[in-house]
Amino acid sequence: MAISRHALSRLTPLCHCSLPPLAGLSSMSLAKRHLSPGCSFSACASPLAENSTHVESLPRKKMDRWKPMCLYFTQGKCTMMNDPGHLEKFNHNCSEGLQTDFAESKQLSSQNVDFLLVLDLEGKVEILEFPVLLIDTKTVQVVDFFHRFVRPSKMSEQRIHEYIQGKYGKLGVDRVWHDTAICFEEVIQEFEAWMIQHQLWGKDLGGPLNRAAFVTCGNWDIKTKIPQQCRVSGLKLPPYFMEWINLKDIYLNFYNRRATGMLTMLKELHIPIRGSHHLGIDDAKNIAKVLQRILADGAVLQITARRDSKVPENVEFLYKDRIR
Active site residues: 122, 278
Read off φ and ψ for residue 118, nearest 5 degrees: -80, 115
Beta bridge partners, 243, equal: 306
Angle in degrees, CA 214, 217, 218, rounded to 5: 100
d(CA 284, CA 251): 16
